[in-house]
Protein backbone atom coordinates (compact mmCIF):
# COMPACT_ATOMS: atom_id res chain seq x y z
CA UNK A 1 0.00 0.00 0.00
CA UNK A 2 1.29 3.45 -0.82
CA UNK A 3 0.10 7.05 -0.74
CA UNK A 4 1.73 10.30 -1.89
CA UNK A 5 1.10 13.80 -0.52
CA UNK A 6 2.50 17.27 -1.13
CA UNK A 7 5.23 18.09 1.41
CA UNK A 8 4.75 21.87 1.51
CA UNK A 9 2.59 21.87 4.69
CA UNK A 10 5.24 19.80 6.50
CA UNK A 11 8.41 21.67 5.53
CA UNK A 12 10.91 22.39 8.33
CA UNK A 13 9.14 19.88 10.59
CA UNK A 14 9.44 16.23 11.53
CA UNK A 15 6.64 13.98 10.28
CA UNK A 16 5.47 10.89 12.14
CA UNK A 17 3.58 8.07 10.48
CA UNK A 18 1.85 5.79 12.98
CA UNK A 19 -0.44 2.81 12.45
CA UNK A 20 -1.72 -0.24 14.24
CA UNK A 21 -0.57 -3.40 12.47
CA UNK A 22 -1.65 -7.01 12.94
CA UNK A 23 0.45 -9.71 11.30
CA UNK A 24 0.09 -13.40 10.55
CA UNK A 25 2.87 -15.72 9.43
CA UNK A 26 5.35 -13.10 8.25
CA UNK A 27 8.23 -15.26 7.01
CA UNK A 28 10.73 -12.53 6.08
CA UNK A 29 9.77 -9.03 7.25
CA UNK A 30 7.23 -6.24 7.02
CA UNK A 31 7.10 -2.62 8.10
CA UNK A 32 5.71 0.84 7.68
CA UNK A 33 7.65 2.94 5.21
CA UNK A 34 7.98 6.63 4.47
CA UNK A 35 10.16 8.67 2.11
CA UNK A 36 10.64 12.41 1.64
CA UNK A 37 11.72 13.57 -1.82
CA UNK A 38 13.28 16.86 -2.92
CA UNK A 39 12.75 18.95 -6.06
CA UNK A 40 14.62 16.61 -8.41
CA UNK A 41 12.98 13.50 -6.91
CA UNK A 42 16.10 12.83 -4.83
CA UNK A 43 15.49 10.93 -1.63
CA UNK A 44 16.05 13.29 1.29
CA UNK A 45 15.00 10.93 4.09
CA UNK A 46 13.74 7.35 4.22
CA UNK A 47 12.72 4.62 6.68
CA UNK A 48 11.11 1.24 6.01
CA UNK A 49 11.56 -0.42 9.43
CA UNK A 50 13.98 -2.94 7.94
CA UNK A 51 16.20 -2.45 11.01
CA UNK A 52 13.19 -3.04 13.36
CA UNK A 53 11.02 -5.38 11.26
CA UNK A 54 7.66 -6.96 11.93
CA UNK A 55 7.99 -10.74 11.82
CA UNK A 56 5.81 -13.74 12.62
CA UNK A 57 2.27 -13.43 13.99
CA UNK A 58 1.37 -10.50 16.24
CA UNK A 59 -1.82 -8.99 17.61
CA UNK A 60 -2.59 -5.29 16.98
CA UNK A 61 0.55 -3.28 17.78
CA UNK A 62 1.20 0.43 17.23
CA UNK A 63 4.30 1.19 15.15
CA UNK A 64 5.66 4.55 14.08
CA UNK A 65 8.44 6.11 12.05
CA UNK A 66 9.63 9.73 12.06
CA UNK A 67 11.43 11.64 9.30
CA UNK A 68 12.60 15.21 8.80
CA UNK A 69 11.02 17.27 6.02
CA UNK A 70 13.32 19.91 4.60
CA UNK A 71 12.84 23.46 3.28
CA UNK A 72 12.84 22.25 -0.34
CA UNK A 73 11.03 18.91 0.13
CA UNK A 74 8.33 18.31 -2.47
CA UNK A 75 6.57 15.03 -1.76
CA UNK A 76 6.06 12.55 1.05
CA UNK A 77 5.41 8.92 0.20
CA UNK A 78 4.18 6.49 2.85
CA UNK A 79 2.68 3.04 3.18
CA UNK A 80 3.36 -0.50 4.33
CA UNK A 81 5.67 -3.21 2.96
CA UNK A 82 5.39 -6.97 3.11
CA UNK A 83 8.50 -8.84 1.96
CA UNK A 84 7.75 -12.52 1.46
CA UNK A 85 4.84 -14.67 2.62
CA UNK A 86 2.34 -13.64 5.29
CA UNK A 87 -0.58 -11.31 5.93
CA UNK A 88 -0.90 -7.78 7.31
CA UNK A 89 -3.82 -5.69 8.51
CA UNK A 90 -3.64 -1.94 9.19
CA UNK A 91 -5.89 0.42 11.11
CA UNK A 92 -5.81 3.96 12.49
CA UNK A 93 -3.11 5.22 10.11
CA UNK A 94 -2.03 8.72 11.14
CA UNK A 95 0.34 11.27 9.69
CA UNK A 96 1.20 14.17 11.97
CA UNK A 97 4.02 16.54 12.86
CA UNK A 98 6.36 16.50 15.82
CA UNK A 99 7.62 19.92 16.83
pLDDT digits (tens, 9 = 90+) for 2-52: 999 999 999 999 999 999 999 999 999 999 999 999 999 999 999 999 999
Domain that holds residue 17: 2-98
DSSP code for 71:
T
CATH of the domain at 59: 2.60.120.260
* Domains contained in the chain, number: 1
Which of 32, 12, 34 is CA-nearest to residue 21?
32
Cut 0.95: pTM above it: no
CB 88 within 8 A of CB 28: no
CA distance 80 to 32: 4
Amino acid sequence: MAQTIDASAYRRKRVRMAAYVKSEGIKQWAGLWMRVDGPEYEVQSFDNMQDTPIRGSNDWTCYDIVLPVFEDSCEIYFGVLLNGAGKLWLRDIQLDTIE
